[in-house]
Chain A
Amino acid sequence: MKKFVSIVLATAMAAALAGCGATATPTAATSESGSTASAAAIKIGGIGPITGGAAVYGTAVKNGEELAVKEINALGGTQFELNFEDDEHDAEKSVNAYNTLKDWGMQVLAGPVTTTPTLAVAAEAAVDGIFVMTPSASAQAVIETGDNVFQVCFTDPNQGVASADYIADNALATAVGVIYDASDAYSSGIYEKFKAQADSKGLSIVAAEAFTADNKSDLSTQVTKCKDAGADLIFLPIYYTEASQILKYADSIGYTPAFFGCDGLDGLLAVEGFDTTLAEGVMLLTPFAADAADAKTQAFVKAYEAAYGETPNQFAADAYDVIYAIYEASEAAGVTADMNAADICEALKTQIITMSFDGLTGTNMTWDATGAVSKAPQAVVIKDGAYSAMTASSESAK
């Protein structure tokens, strides 16, 4: 009898969970069918973390891609159909998602979002000959996996070099401390290039402290070491989750250096319960600021806010650019939905290196054959709880 009761309870729990799963699926299905206007649509696969620690990125990318696909389909020309799969920022799950998309008939891959999963997926896609354009996986190794892999974001070396240049050229610091994630390709990749560039610029790094994925609940020692080394600026080539913790701890011990980060810090202001005044004055290198005055950005921000009820971050903008870049390249190269993935890949990769693309994250963006993008970096500073473009005045105020 007791056994029976526990079986019933366990089944009830399982059923409840299955119920939760089931409620999630229809929403995905409707968003798909929303963009399946025409039967002859090019099937675009998306992969990214909708759940897990990096969900802010995946969700933003999914939204940005959906929005772009909707707009493009409404234009009536080349039609797209988008199917976005979750990978929880996990390489193995990302490859599973990739295989699911391949079974579905994916012709072009707009993803994955984060670096480590992208490395795994790009290796598969290079073998299969599927065109890959990632909005945000920024490691150099990502584009080295094959000539079919392209980035819309800067590569990490580029981010590391640009950050060091920015800090040195604007004299933001005399002694720099770095806290980075040694177990993450994105973070350690940026750090290495940053260090090399800082050395050549004569910028002194007084402390370089690491943490790992398994050992990041306590970051107090890393911050204390930067403080003891006398760093007046801490460079954070890490994701926003740990950054929020570092800002909070530094504040609690009364340590107030300047903070400078890369695109991983995007999302900091969206952390629930985080006291955004702690982020005041944090600078980050990002090619997109939602308050930019140009018409393109404003139209995008307005449409995004109307559809998802939040201000888009850089990842949404990168994703939006990915879809439009694929769209423009497809139109120019005469790609149609009845071509197979390998032919599309050949056509797109020859087309993309010859064109110049105006997107949200840069004008006159060009790609070279390695897959790296060329566009101008831009820094923003967090002011009154929002990003604002860094100008001479906000720098001197710092």
Chain B
Amino acid sequence: MSEVFDAMQFLSYLINGISLGSVYALIALGYTMVYGIAKMLNFAHGDVIMIGSYVVFFAFGSFGLNPIVSVLLSMVVCTLLGVTVERVAYRPLREAPSLAVLITAIGVSYLLQQTAQLMWSSNPKSFTSVVGLRAVSLFDGQLMISGETIVTILSCILIMLALTWFVNHTSAGHAMLAVSEDRGAAQLMGVNVNATISLTFAIGSALAAIAGALLCSSYPTLQPTTGAMPGIKAFVAAVFGGIGSIPGAFVGGILLGIIENLSKAYISTQLSDAIVFLMLIVVLLVKPTGLLGKKVNVKV
């Protein structure tokens, strides 16, 4: 670390942070959707991401399919997986105490991890980036922004806007809002609650596939446990931004990534997690619903 404050250095740490943050944000969008509508914490979300990454790894890396086709294929697989998991493991517990559902979700998370380990072994695989974009060089090469970073940030913003539009302007979206506000009343008004929740899982899991491809493009180590830690961090991001709120997940994710990387850069690489969680505690003390969380109205 140089003693003089170096603006270029600061910018490059900031960009690293935004890059990590937009991955967190993408994952957090899936968490927040499911929480907002089904009122459950889907801890298996991180592992759906891992499965999606493996699908892309084999489709793109091993069979040489087009990267976009590979991601689409992975979205299909993840959607099927998410809907199946919801159908088999969560729907029978719809009326059960939320603790039972939470534990089931943790169980599903382990099931997916161990299955992946049996199928693909635990040996780490090095993921080939699906992003073909070259790194952008600014200020005579003093600042490099990788193609992955640009694509991740752009897709994150696009997905957030699309989701917000979908929820507010389509009938399926209105059904989601209704289920989110009062499941019983929505059912009485003729909303098919099960179908709506299935759709939520389908969308969340499709997002997980995109998140997985982008996560592994930026951080290329792929193992059965790849999704676990980013999944938990993204959950923190969702709480940070206000769980249930779509823009909140985005803001929370980006902030979390920036805080994490700047504290690594300027305070200590060892303490960065402690600082991140300290910030979370402070935010929750001041605003218990998170940064953008409001009592009822913004809940997806």
Contact = CB atoms under 8 A, between A and B. Distances in A.
Nearest to A273: B126
Interface stretch (A111-119, A224-232, A379-387): A224-232
Interface in B124-181: 124-128, 135, 141, 144, 146
A6 B88 contact: yes
A248 B126 contact: yes
A217 B230 contact: yes
A221 B92 contact: no
Nearest to A230: B2
Contact of A254 (B2, B115, B124, B144): B144
B123 interface: yes
For chain A, which range describes its interface: under 10, 10 to 19, 20 to 34, or 35 or more residues? Answer: 35 or more
Interface string B55-75: 001000100000000000000
Interface string B209-250: 000000100111111011001100000000000000000000
A212 B274 CA distance: 11
A270 B115 CA distance: 22
Contacts of B127: 273
For chain B, which range describes its interface: under 10, 10 to 19, 20 to 34, or 35 or more residues? Answer: 35 or more
A394 interface: no
B92 A3 contact: yes
B294 interface: no
B123 A215 contact: no
Interface stretch (B30-38, B184-192, B262-270, B284-292): B262-270
B98 interface: no
A218 B88 CA distance: 34
B273 A212 contact: yes
Given A218-B20, A225-B1, A273 B128 contact: yes
A273 B122 contact: no
Contact of B92 (A6, A209, A215, A271): A6
Contacts of B87: 6
A245 B220 contact: yes
A1 to B, nearest CB: 12
The interface centre, meaning the residue of B9, B225, B270 with most chain A CB atoms within 10 A of its CB, is B270
Contacts of A218: 16, 20, 218-219, 260-261
Nearest to A252: B146
A3 B118 CA distance: 28
A273 B57 contact: yes
Given A55-B121, A273-B126, A10 B221 contact: no
A242 interface: yes
B112 to A, nearest CB: 11
B118 A20 contact: yes
A20 B118 CA distance: 7
B221 A245 contact: yes
Nearest to A16: B115
Interface string A11-34: 001000100100000000000000
Contacts of B265: 221, 224-225
The interface centre, meaning the residue of B218, B230, B260, B269 with most chain A CB atoms within 10 A of its CB, is B269
The 7 closest A-B pairs by CB, nearest first: A274-B126, A273-B126, A221-B264, A272-B125, A241-B124, A55-B122, A210-B269
Interface of B: 1-2, 6, 9, 12-13, 16, 19-20, 57, 61, 87-89, 91-92, 111, 114-115, 117-118, 121-128, 135, 141, 144, 146, 215, 218-223, 225-226, 229-230, 260-261, 264-265, 268-270, 272-273
